[in-house]
Structure 1
Amino acid sequence: MTNLQPARRVPTRRTTELVLLIFAVLIVVASEAAVEAARDGHFSSRLATYAAVPIVVGIVTHLVIRRVAPYADPLLLPIVVLLNGLGLVMIHRLDLGARTAARQYGNPVPSADAPKQVVWIALGVLLFLAILIMVRDHRVLQRYAYTLALAGVFLLLLPAVLPARFSEVNGARIWIRLGGFSLQPAELAKILLTVFGAAYLVQKRDVLALAGRRFLGIDFPRGRDFGPVLVVWLFCIGVLVRGHDLGTSLLFFGLFIVLLYVATERSSWVIVGVLLFAGGAYVSYQLFGNVQTRVSVWLHTFSPQFDATAYQLRQSLFGLGTGGIFGAGLGSGHPELVPLPATDFIISSFGEELGLFGLIGLLVLYAILVARGMAAGLAVRDAFGKLLAVGLSFLFALQLFVVVAGVTRLLPETGLTTPFLSYGGSSLIGSWAVLALLLRISDAARRPATAPPARTVTPETVPA
C-alpha cells in the first residue's frame, strides 16, 4: 500500500493584502484631507468623492483576486492602489491650483482633470478584472504569440497612417483622438510585444544561446533564428521614430535587450545593446530637430538662449529645490507653475510638496513593486512565465528611471509618464493590465502542486 504525504498547505495571504489595502486607503484619505485643509481651510464633499475611489477599487479588486487568484502576491495590489490614489490626490490638487491661478489673472478656468482620471481608473480596473477572469493560466498567452505581435504592430502603425488631426499632439503622431478623449496605442502595444518576445525567446532560447557566427569576439546566433524577432523590433522602432515617440522607442529597445540577456544568459548582448543604443542616439540627434532641442535644453537649461524651450525644466528644478528635504506640504506649494504638471512632471509636483523624503518613499514603493514582480518570475515554474514577469517588471523600472532622470536633469526629458501616478488614460490602462498579468504569474508561482490522488488498494493489486 502506497502512503502519500498530503500537500503542504500554502497560506493565500489574502488577509495580509486586505490589511495593507486598508492602510493604503487611509494614507490616500489623509492626503486628500491635507489638500482640502491647506487649500480651502475646511473639508468639502470632494473629500468623500475622491476617498471613495481607492475604497471601491480596493474592495472590488481584492474580492476578485480572492476568488480567481487566491495565491497572488499580497503586496502588488496595495502598492498600486496607494500610488493610483496619491496620483489622483495630486491631480485634484493641481486642478485647484490651476483654478486659483486662472481667477487671479482673469483667465478662463480650465477644465478639471481629476474627474477624467476617475473615468480612466475605472476603465483600467475593468481591463484588470477582465484579464484576471479570462486568463486563468498565463501560459495560454504563449499559444497566441504571433497573433499578439501582429496586433501590437497594428496598434503602433495606426497613428502613423491616420490624418494628423486625429493622431498628432505637440508634433508627435502617436495618438488616436476621438470625441474629446485621446489614446496612445503604444501603451498597449508594448504589453502585446512583450508577450511575443517572451514566447519567441523561450522557443528559440537554445539555438540563440549557441554560437552561430563569431564576430569581433562576440558569438551571434544564426540569422534564421534571430531574424523574426529582429524584424519585428526594427519595424516597431521605425514606426515609433516616424511618430517622434523616442521615449517609447527607448522602452522597446531596453526591453528587447533585457529579454535577450535573460533568455540566453550571455553578457555579450548587453555590450551589443549599449553600442547600438549609442549609435542610434547619435543618428537620432543628427536627423531629428526635436531630439536636438531636447539635448540642448538638457545641456544648457539656464542659458538665456533657451528661455522658452527650457522653461518647463527650469520650473521643475525650482520646484524640487523649493521642496527641499521635507517639502512644502500637500496643498501648500505651487506645482501648477510647471507646465504639464499632472503628466510628464508629476514627480516634480510631488517633490515640491512632499520633499526629498516623500520622493524617496514613492521610489521605494516602485522598487518593491518591481522586486515583487521579478520575484514572481524567479518563482514560477515555466520559462515563459519567468521571461514575461521579468519583461513586464522591467517596463515599470525603465519607465520610472527615464521619467525621474528627465525631471532631475540626469537625462534629456523624453515625455514618458509615471506609471499609476500621472494623468492619462493610455498609460494608466496599460499599467493596470501589466499588474493583472503579474498577479496571474505570481498566483501560479505560489500555488501548491496538487498531490496525486490516493491509490485504491484491492486484493488484485497486492503483490503475492
Structure 2
Amino acid sequence: MSDVAAQKSAQSSSLMGFVHRRRRGAELFLLVLALAVGIGAYAAVGLGVEGEVPADIIGYGGWLAALVIGAHVVIRVVAPYADPVLLPVVAALNGLGLAVIYRLDLAAEAVDRKNDYAQQQLIWMTLGVILFVATLVAIRDHRVLQRFTYTSALAAILLLLLPMVPGLGKEVFGARIWIQVGPFNFQPGEVAKVLIVVAFAGYLVLHRDALALAGRRVLFVDLPRGRDLGPILVMWLVSLGILVFQRDLGSSLLFFGVFLIMLYVATERPGWLVVGGLLFAGGALAAYVLFGHVRERFQIWLNPFDFYTEEQGGQSFQPVEAMFGMGWGGLIGRGFGDGDPLRVPFANSDFIVAAIGEELGLTAVMAVIVMYGLIVERALRTALICRDGFGKLLATGLGSVIALQVFVVIGGVTGLIPLTGLTTPFLSYGGSSLIANWVILALLLRISDQARRPVPQLSDDTAAIDTDATQVVKTIR
C-alpha cells in the first residue's frame, strides 16, 4: 500500500508541477509569418494591378508591423502566459483583408470612382489595437467582469435599441442596425455582442445548477423543467424582436445561437438543444409566413436566378455575381489584378470572401476558413483549461461568436444559407466590427493567460499542516 500511495503522490506532484511555457518567442516567429502574409499580399496587389510594388509599401508595412509588434510587446508584459497562436492568426487575417480592400480600391479607381477604404480600414485597425491594449491593461483578471453581469445585459439591450431611436437610427438596405452621429456611422450591435456574452456567462454561472435539473424524458432525451424555460424564451423573443423591428436576420441568429451554445455548455443537458432547435424552427417558420422581407430572403436563396436581372428585380444580383466570380476563380484563382471582383456590390464588406475566391481561389478560401477554425479551437482550448466557471463560459461564448459569424457570412456568400448581412471578422471593411473583434481577442488572451499561469504555491504553514496530516494517516495505517 505504501508503494501505491507513493506512486499516486508522485503522479499528483508531477501534475501540480506542470506549467505551460510562455511561448512568446513562438508568437513572435508566427507574427513575422503573419506580417509576410499581409505585406506580401499588399505588394502582390500592386504588382498584379499596376505592374509595380506600391510606392507606400515601406510606410504601410512599417505601420502594420508597429501595430502587431506593439501588441506582442504588451502581451509579453501584462499577459505573458497568454495563448501564442491567437494574435498571429488575427494579424494574418487582418493583413489579408487590408490587401483585398486595397485591391478593390484600385479597381474602383480604374472606373473613375475614388475609394480610400483600405486607408480607413488601417485607421480602424489602429483604433482596434489601441482598445486591445487598453483592455489587456485595464482588465488584469477576467473574473472582475462577473460583477457587471446585469449591467452588461442592460447596456447590451440599450445598444440594440439605439437604432430604433428616431433621428439617431439609420436604415441601410432595409436593415435598421446603424446609428449616425454627425459624419460618423456606428453599428451598436457589434459592441452589444461582447456585452451580451459577458452577461450570459455571469448569469449561467449563477443559475446553471437549477437549469441543469431534468424534467420529463422524451425519446431518451431529458427535457428541461417548464419553470426553467424563462431565460431561453426571453432570448428567443429578443431575437425575434431584432428580426422583426430591425430586419437583421444575422444578429438575430447570432445572439440566439450563442446563448443556446453557452446554455448547453453550462448545463450539459441535450434537452436544451432540442428546445432551442424547436424554438428556432418555429420562429423561422412564423417569420417566413408573417414578414415579407424574410420570405423574400428565402425565395432569393432558393431561386437566385429568378431575381437576377433588372427585369426580374435584381435582388439576387449580388449573390449570383459572387458565385460566378468564385466559379471563375477555380482552385487557385485568377491572381490579383486578373479578376473582376468589383462586379459584386459591397465586395469589401459583406462579400469579401467572394473577392478572395475569385482572385486567390478556393485554396485561399479554405486557408481563411482554417484560420478561423484555429481561432475557435484556441478559444475552446482556453475554456477547457480555465480554472473557473465564469472564464470557461466566457471563452466558449466569445469563440462561439466568431464561429457563428463566420458560418453565417461564408454560408450566405456560398449559398449554403440565406444572406444575413454580417461582416467577416477581421477581413471585411467596417470599423465597428473590427474594433469589437479586437476587444474579443484581448478578452480571450486575458482568459488564456489566467488559465495557463502556474498554480499558486502553497505557503509554508499550509505545507506543514499537509505534512502533519500525512504523518497522522501513516500512523493510523
What TM-score do you get using the length of structure 2 for normalisation? 0.89
The correspondence of residues 251-262 of structure 1 with structure 2, limited to 5 A, is 251-262=254-265
Q: Is the 8 A contact 1:166 1:178 kept in 2?
A: no
2:223 alignment partner, SS class: strand
2:427 alignment partner, SS class: coil
Aligned position for 1:349: 355
Which one is further off, 330-339 or 49-58? 49-58
* Alpha-carbon distance in structure 2 between the residues aligned to 1:413 and 1:270: 24
Q: Is the 8 A contact 2:242 2:251 kept in 1?
A: no
Q: In 2 relative to 1, CA 457–390 (structure 1 residues): closer, same or farther, beyond 3 Å? A: closer
Q: Does 1:385 align with 2:395?
A: no
Aligned position for 2:43: 33
Cα shift readout 1:300-330 (whole Å, capped 9, x = no counterpart): 1112674511111111000000100010112
Unaligned stretches of 5+ residues in structure 1: 103-108
* Alpha-carbon distance in structure 1 between the residues aligned to 2:451 and 2:124: 30
Q: Which amino acid counterpart does residue 209 of structure 1 have in structure 2? A: A
Q: Is the 8 A contact 1:94 1:336 kept in 2?
A: yes
Q: Is the 8 A contact 1:7 1:451 kept in 2?
A: no
**Displacement of 1:182:** 1.2
The correspondence of residues 197-212 of structure 1 with structure 2, limited to 5 A, is 197-211=200-214
Q: Is the 8 A contact 1:83 1:420 kept in 2?
A: yes
* Alpha-carbon distance in structure 2 between the residues aligned to 1:68 and 1:175: 35
**Displacement of 1:212:** 5.2
* Alpha-carbon distance in structure 1 between the residues aligned to 2:463 and 2:212: 49
1:333 alignment partner, SS class: coil
Q: Which amino acid counterpart does residue 201 of structure 2 have in structure 1? A: A
Aligned position for 1:441: 447
Q: Does 1:417 align with 2:423?
A: yes
Q: Does 1:128 align with 2:124?
A: no
Q: Which amino acid counterpart does residue 191 of structure 1 have in structure 2? A: V
Q: Is the 8 A contact 1:195 1:388 kept in 2?
A: yes
Aligned position for 2:371: 365
Q: Which amino acid counterpart does residue 143 of structure 1 have in structure 2? A: R
Q: In 2 relative to 1, CA 60–342 (structure 1 residues): closer, same or farther, beyond 3 Å? A: same
Aligned position for 2:317: 311
Q: Is the 8 A contact 2:223 2:272 kept in 1?
A: no
Aligned position for 1:84: 94
1:400 to 392, 403, 406: 406
The correspondence of residues 313-328 of structure 1 with structure 2, limited to 5 A, is 313-328=319-334
Equivalent pairs: percent with the same residue? 50
* Alpha-carbon distance in structure 1 between the residues aligned to 2:422 and 2:190: 10
* Alpha-carbon distance in structure 2 between the residues aligned to 1:15 and 1:402: 35
1:177 to 180, 199, 213: 180
Q: Is the 8 A contact 1:36 1:47 kept in 2?
A: no
Q: Does 1:272 align with 2:272?
A: no
* Alpha-carbon distance in structure 2 between the residues aligned to 1:412 and 1:299: 8
Aligned position for 2:340: 334
Cα shift readout 1:423-463 (whole Å, capped 9, x = no counterpart): 001111111111111111111111111212445999xx999
Aligned position for 1:97: 107
Unaligned stretches of 5+ residues in structure 2: 1-12, 472-477
Q: Which amino acid counterpart does residue 409 of structure 1 have in structure 2? A: G
Q: Is the 8 A contact 2:194 2:398 kept in 1?
A: yes
The correspondence of residues 6-155 of structure 1 with structure 2, limited to 5 A, is 10-102=20-112, 109-155=113-159
Aligned position for 2:296: 293
* Alpha-carbon distance in structure 1 between the residues aligned to 2:41 and 2:439: 26
**Displacement of 1:173:** 1.3
What TM-score do you get using the length of structure 1 for normalisation? 0.91
Q: Is the 8 A contact 2:215 2:222 kept in 1?
A: no
Q: In 2 relative to 1, CA 275–457 (structure 1 residues): closer, same or farther, beyond 3 Å? A: closer
1:432 alignment partner, SS class: helix
1:175 alignment partner, SS class: strand
**Displacement of 1:404:** 1.1
1:342 alignment partner, SS class: coil
Q: Is the 8 A contact 1:319 1:352 kept in 2?
A: yes
Q: Is the 8 A contact 2:19 2:452 kept in 1?
A: no
Aligned position for 1:105: none
Q: In 2 relative to 1, CA 455–430 (structure 1 residues): closer, same or farther, beyond 3 Å? A: same
* Alpha-carbon distance in structure 1 between the residues aligned to 2:338 and 2:45: 8
Q: Is the 8 A contact 2:100 2:356 kept in 1?
A: yes
Cα shift readout 1:56-115 (whole Å, capped 9, x = no counterpart): 22111001100110000000000000000100111011000011023xxxxxx2332111
